[in-house]
Structure formats: C-alpha cells, structure tokens
C-alpha cells in the first residue's frame, strides 16, 4: 500500500526527491529532507551517523572525491520504505581528513560501484533512516591509502 505523507507526497516521491538532490550534490536540500533525528547506518565500515555528522561527512566526501556521479537504476517502494539501486562513481582527487586528525592523501584513482540505499520516510515526508550498502571498491581505496600512511 502506498503511504501518503502529511505533505501530500508519497514516500516514494519524498525519497526520490531526496535522492535526486544527492545526485545533484545539493547538500542544503539533503539536509532539509532529513528529520532532525535521522540516522544513517552504513558502510564502508558499518557505523551509525546522526544528521549533522552525515551532512558534514558528505560535504567532505564531495570535496575529496571530485566528478561525483550518481545514477539511479532501480527503485522499489513499499509503505514507508524506499530502496534505490544506483551506480556511483568519483575520483579521489583531494586530501581527506579523518576524525583523528590524520589526512589521507589522494590517489587520483577513480571508482565505479553499484550501491544500494534503503530509506524510511516519516509520516511528515522527511527521511528518518538511511541504510547505505556500499561495495568494497571505495572502502578498499581508502584502506590502502590509510595503510600507506604507516
């Protein structure tokens, strides 16, 4: 059954608008489309991020990984749940600071991965939960760079 949110949109419409903003690298629209209590669970190592940490991490990712592309290839919705299958690619072109103060130097490598994001949409039409399943290509690239730091 299709869920209609209080903003008049279906969960699929609300989540699709949010994912389209991600493809455009539109951080203000991403932040506005997330509930304040939204949590992002996901890889490259399974972790939980609150909304401010997710937006800050995404902003840094877009700085460090240039020419980002996100193509949505499949979408499925049921009730308040929306799942996106996508192809994501970018080039590791600028330094990436870690929370501990270390800085990963760019490798210049480009990656292309098939990724899957599972989202929950609240009754108000805001994203309440994000589960990001990311293959190991980007994670391996980062792990190699960290290992090279010694």
Tell whether 150 is covered by a domain: no
Alpha-carbon gap, residue 145 to 21, rounded angstroms: 29
φ/ψ (deg, to 5) at 16: -65, -40
Instruction: Please tell me the predicted confidence (pLDDT) of residue 1.
Output: 66
Q: In CATH, what number is assigned to the domain containing residue 104?
A: 3.10.450.50
Single pTM value for the model: 0.88
Helix, strand, coil shares of the chain as percentages rounded to 5?
Answer: 30, 45, 25
- Write out pLDDT tens, residues 81-97: 999 999 999 999 999 88
What does DSSP assign to residue 2? B
Instruction: Please tell me the predicted confidence (pLDDT) of residue 134.
Output: 80
Helix, strand, or coil here: 74?
A: strand
Instruction: Please tell me the predicted confidence (pLDDT) of residue 99.
Output: 74
Tell whether 53 is covered by a domain: yes
Domain of 80 in residue numbering reads as 11-125
Q: Name which of 50, 90, 44 is nearest 66 in CA terms.
A: 90
Instruction: Please tell me the predicted confidence (pLDDT) of residue 149.
Output: 77
Instruction: Please tell me the predicted confidence (pLDDT) of residue 127.
Output: 98
Tell whether 134 is covered by a domain: no
Tell whether 6 is covered by a domain: no
Decide: residue 101, CB within 10 A, 0-12 exposed, 13-18 middle, 19+ buried.
exposed
Instruction: Please tell me the predicted confidence (pLDDT) of residue 92.
Output: 92
Q: Name which of 70, 85, 91 is nearest 115 in CA terms.
A: 85
Tell whether 71 is covered by a domain: yes
Instruction: Please tell me the predicted confidence (pLDDT) of residue 44.
Output: 63
Please answer whether residues 70 and 86 qualify as being in contact, where contact means their C-beta atoms are separated by less than 8 angstroms. yes
Ranges under pLDDT 70 in the chain:
1, 44-45, 136
Q: How many domains, in total, are found in the chain?
A: 1
């Amino acid at each position: 059954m299709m869920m209609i949110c209080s903003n008049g949109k279906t969960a699929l419409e609300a989540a699709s608008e949010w994912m389209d903003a991600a493809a455009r690298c539109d951080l203000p629209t991403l932040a506005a489309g997330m509930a304040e209590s939204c949590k992002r669970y996901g890889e490259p190592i399974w972790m939980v991020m609150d909304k401010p940490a997710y937006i800050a991490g995404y902003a840094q990712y877009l700085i460090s990984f240039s020419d980002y592309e996100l193509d949505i290839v499949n979408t499925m919705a049921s009730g308040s749940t929306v799942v996106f299958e996508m192809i994501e690619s970018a080039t590791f072109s600028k330094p990436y600071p870690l929370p501990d103060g270390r800085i990963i130097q760019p490798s210049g490598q480009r990656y292309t991965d098939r990724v899957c994001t599972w989202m929950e949409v609240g009754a108000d039409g805001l994203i309440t939960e994000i589960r990001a399943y990311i293959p190991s290509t980007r994670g391996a690239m980062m792990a190699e760079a960290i290992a090279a730091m010694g």
